[in-house]
């Protein structure tokens, strides 16, 4: 029989608090399995099992050392149902993870994530926050570890990361404040404030924080988590409070009626949800508590996204545990209230239409990718047309209409029209030759200019676009009790198409935390091969659906 990670709890405990805690507890056995816990091993404390156990990569991912944080939380706090409180083995595992983070870092204390000498700001920031909190929670007194944490922070504060990733900047700002308090110093105050000001400047007046090229609800909640903790530490920062009010309000609007959250309508297509910041905001803004109470239903109903793979498991685990730790035990608000009728965020490229018993969420800047719900249940999810096309001999290319940007829109009361040109999807894969070239490059020229390499890879895998020879028009028309979706695609190159269809969960830009399974993705592939045969003669593919 499988042993539960949860001990007996009081039946009087709020079920939502228990749900967040259980969501964290259930990941701990896997996190411990990912770690080398042999004190005599040269990789003792490493959480990257692909490196120390399977030995299929040649360097450890520094991001994995973040996994010390949830272990330290459970070691330090007598939470309801926590069977790991003051367990010496768990405390030692958390400490060993922090020590390995130091041992495996570069001389400037930065770390790698996906390739050697990458010096990844995201991995360095996540694991720095984890390291600071692990040190504090374990009650350590170690000058060498403090020096390591300080060097890593200095590197992050002097490093200019390519791309606009608000969540990374928020992590750095929070880590700066926490380490400053741990050391009793004010030497980084000015740089901390610079980072906070930068984050607030990246917040659109609509309330969302920029992630590469737009609004991603999932990463948005991580930024909220960091800013809410900063506000709790510095309650006089009214600018942070006002920013969080705007951020919470747009978050409330994008919660689906069944409690699910995020998805392919977002700029980074993630189903992330980090509840801790919203729980903290709930102490002074009840609407934030209503959001958490709506989304927690995913756990009760089995709709929680599967973020438990070897690389992603850490972020959500510590955030769930902190939510249980700081759960607001006073009177909580009723069901989440959202705007009725039409909600339009033109800068984000989002349109939400609520009329009658139907709710429809449309990403206008992703070709009309949409989700529609009837009586609170998902009835259709659509990430636009995908075409598999012939290309140079036996090679193929994938044309899609859902890449971010380059879409014209016309929004009317009962009709929305989106037009654009399809793009070639990014499906570049590693080969032995490419991997060897990357290693040689990074061991010579690349290690001196890791940010240049990152910028090039971002353009290749995430932000760059190359047009395909297919144009589209998607029209949404609302009737009294119906929604008509009418698609028209035009091209002279339909003979190149080998397979055509529409998926409910397709995404083609490279984002680490996208492409995880959720039950909403069980909608089958909708084949359009018959329509392609007709289009070869007419040059036009047309499709109408009444939803």
| Per-residue pLDDT at 453 | 73
Q: Are residues 380 and 515 in the same domain?
A: yes
Token code pair at residue 339: 């705007």
With respect to residue 194, please indicate whether it lies within any of the assigned structural domains: yes
Closest CA to 231 of 267, 187, 199, 274: 199
* Consecutive H or E run containing 473: strand 467-478
Name the DSSP letter for residue 82. Answer: B
Would you say the C-alpha torsion 221, 223, 228, 233 has a positive or negative sign? positive
CATH number at residue 240: 1.50.10.10
With respect to residue 271, please indicate whether it lies within any of the assigned structural domains: yes
Q: Are residues 240 and 105 in the same domain?
A: no
With respect to residue 176, please indicate whether it lies within any of the assigned structural domains: yes
φ, ψ dihedrals at 356, nearest 5°: 60, -130
How many domains are contained in the chain?
A: 3
Q: Beta strand 395-400 with 497-502: parallel, antiparallel or unpaired? A: unpaired
Q: Are residues 353 and 292 in the same domain?
A: no
- Find the DSSP H helices in 114-188: 121-138, 143-158, 166-183
Q: Are residues 150 and 173 in the same domain?
A: no
With respect to residue 125, please indicate whether it lies within any of the assigned structural domains: yes
Q: Are residues 275 and 382 in the same domain?
A: no
Q: Are residues 385 and 511 in the same domain?
A: yes
With respect to residue 37, please indicate whether it lies within any of the assigned structural domains: yes
Secondary-structure percent of the chain, ordered helix, strand, coil, rounded to 5: 45, 20, 40
Whole-Å CA distances, 53 to 37, 50, 57, 517, 535: 11, 6, 10, 26, 53
Q: Are residues 506 and 360 in the same domain?
A: yes
Q: Beta strand 369-374 with 377-382: parallel, antiparallel or unpaired? A: antiparallel
How far, in Å, CA of 133 to CA of 66, rounded? Answer: 10
- Determine the 3-state secondary structure of 371 from DSSP: strand
How far, in Å, CA of 538 to CA of 202, rounded? Answer: 46
Q: Are residues 153 and 242 in the same domain?
A: no
Chunked into runs of 10 residues, the chain (547 residues) has average pLDDT values of 43 87 97 98 98 94 97 97 97 98 96 89 96 98 98 94 88 98 98 97 97 91 98 97 98 96 93 97 98 94 89 94 97 94 96 96 96 96 96 91 89 96 85 83 78 69 79 96 96 96 88 87 94 94 96
HSE on the CB side for 524, CA within 13 Å?
3
Q: Are residues 244 and 293 in the same domain?
A: yes
Token code pair at residue 372: 């529609």
Per DSSP, the residues of 178-215 read: HHHHHHT--TTHHHHHHHHHHHHHTB-TTSPBEETTEE
Q: Are residues 43 and 180 in the same domain?
A: no
How far, in Å, CA of 523 to CA of 520, rounded? Answer: 7
Buried b (16+ CB within 10 A) or exposed e, 92-127: bbbbbbbbbbbebbbeebbbbbbbbbbbbbbbbbbb
Closest CA to 253 of 283, 220, 228, 279: 220
How far, in Å, CA of 457 to CA of 30, rounded? Answer: 31
Radius of gyration of the chain measured on its C-alpha atoms:
24
| Per-residue pLDDT at 30 | 97
Token code pair at residue 531: 């329509």
Are the C-beta atoms of residues 334 and 34 closer than 8 Å to each other?
no
With respect to residue 207, please indicate whether it lies within any of the assigned structural domains: yes
Q: Beta strand 350-355 with 385-391: parallel, antiparallel or unpaired? A: unpaired
Q: Are residues 295 and 371 in the same domain?
A: no
HSE on the CB side for 351, CA within 13 Å?
23
| Residues in Cβ contact with 540 at an 8 Å cutoff, skipping those fewer than 6 apart | 488, 489, 490
- Determine the 3-state secondary structure of 324 from DSSP: helix
Domain end point (choices 110, 125, 159): 159
Token code pair at residue 132: 């600071």
Are the C-beta atoms of residues 460 and 128 closer than 8 Å to each other?
no
Domain end point (choices 241, 273, 302): 302
Token code pair at residue 481: 């009790």
Name the DSSP letter for residue 163. Answer: S
Helix axes 189-201, 238-253, angle to 10 degrees: 40
How far, in Å, CA of 199 to CA of 189, rounded? Answer: 15
- Determine the 3-state secondary structure of 335 from DSSP: coil
With respect to residue 463, please indicate whether it lies within any of the assigned structural domains: yes
Are the C-beta atoms of residues 279 and 323 closer than 8 Å to each other?
yes
Q: What is the largest CA-CA distance in the chain?
A: 76
Domain end point (choices 142, 159, 176): 159
Q: Are residues 278 and 357 in the same domain?
A: no
Are the C-beta atoms of residues 326 and 17 closer than 8 Å to each other?
no
Q: Beta strand 467-478 with 415-424: parallel, antiparallel or unpaired? A: antiparallel
With respect to residue 329, please indicate whether it lies within any of the assigned structural domains: no
How far, in Å, CA of 422 to CA of 386, rounded? Answer: 9
How far, in Å, CA of 93 to CA of 47, rounded? Answer: 10
Which structural domain, as residue segments, surrounds residue 201?
163-302
Are the C-beta atoms of residues 19 and 296 closer than 8 Å to each other?
yes
């Amino acid at each position: 029989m499988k042993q539960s990670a949860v001990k007996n709890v009081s039946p009087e405990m709020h079920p939502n608090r228990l749900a967040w805690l259980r969501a964290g507890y259930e990941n701990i056995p896997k996190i411990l399995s990912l770690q080398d816990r042999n004190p005599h091993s040269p990789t003792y404390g490493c959480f990257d099992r692909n490196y120390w156990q399977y030995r299929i990569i040649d360097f450890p991912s520094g991001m994995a050392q973040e996994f010390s944080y949830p272990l330290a939380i459970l070691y330090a706090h007598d939470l309801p149902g926590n069977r790991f409180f003051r367990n010496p083995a768990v405390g030692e595992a958390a400490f060993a993870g922090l020590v390995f983070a130091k041992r495996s870092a570069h001389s400037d204390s930065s770390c790698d994530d996906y390739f050697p000498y990458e010096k990844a700001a995201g991995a360095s920031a996540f694991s720095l926050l984890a390291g600071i909190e692990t040190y504090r929670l374990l009650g350590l007194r170690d000058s060498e570890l403090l020096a390591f944490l300080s060097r890593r922070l200095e590197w992050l504060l002097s490093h200019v990361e390519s791309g606009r990733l608000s969540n990374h900047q928020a992590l750095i700002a929070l880590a700066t404040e926490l380490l400053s308090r741990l050391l009793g110093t004010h030497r980084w105050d000015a740089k901390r404030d610079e980072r906070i000001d930068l984050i607030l400047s990246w917040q659109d007046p609509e309330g969302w924080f920029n992630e590469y090229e737009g609004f991603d609800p999932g990463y948005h909640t991580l930024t909220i988590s960091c800013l809410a903790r900063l506000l709790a530490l510095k309650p006089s920062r009214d600018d942070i409070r006002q920013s969080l009010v705007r951020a919470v309000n747009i978050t409330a609007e994008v919660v689906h009626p069944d409690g699910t959250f995020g998805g392919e309508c977002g700029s980074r297509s993630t189903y992330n949800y980090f509840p801790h910041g919203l729980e903290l905001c709930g102490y002074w803004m009840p609407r934030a508590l209503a959001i958490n109470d709506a989304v927690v239903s995913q756990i009760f109903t089995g709709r929680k996204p599967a973020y438990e793979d070897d690389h992603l498991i850490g972020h959500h685990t510590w955030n769930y545990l902190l939510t249980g730790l700081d759960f607001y035990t006073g009177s909580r608000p009723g069901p989440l209230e959202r705007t009725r009728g039409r909600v339009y965020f033109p800068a984000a490229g989002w349109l939400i239409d609520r009329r009658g018993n139907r709710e429809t969420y449309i990403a206008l800047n992703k070709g009309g990718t949409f989700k529609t719900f009837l009586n609170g249940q998902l009835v259709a999810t659509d990430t636009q047309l995908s075409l598999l096309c012939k290309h140079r001999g036996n090679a193929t290319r994938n044309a899609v209409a859902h890449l971010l940007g380059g879409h014209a829109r016309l929004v009317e009361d009962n009709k929305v029209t989106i037009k654009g040109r399809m793009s070639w999807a990014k499906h570049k894969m590693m080969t032995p030759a490419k991997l060897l070239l990357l290693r040689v490059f990074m061991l010579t020229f690349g290690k001196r200019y890791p940010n240049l390499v990152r910028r090039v890879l971002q353009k290749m895998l995430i932000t760059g676009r190359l047009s395909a020879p297919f144009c589209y028009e998607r029209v949404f028309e609302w009737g009294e009790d119906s929604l008509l979706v009418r698609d028209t695609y035009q091209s002279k190159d339909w003979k190149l198409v080998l397979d055509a269809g529409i998926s409910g969960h397709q995404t083609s830009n490279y984002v680490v935390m996208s492409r995880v399974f959720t039950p909403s993705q069980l909608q089958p592939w909708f084949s359009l091969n018959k329509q392609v045969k007709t289009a070869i003669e007419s040059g036009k593919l047309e499709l109408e659906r009444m939803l």
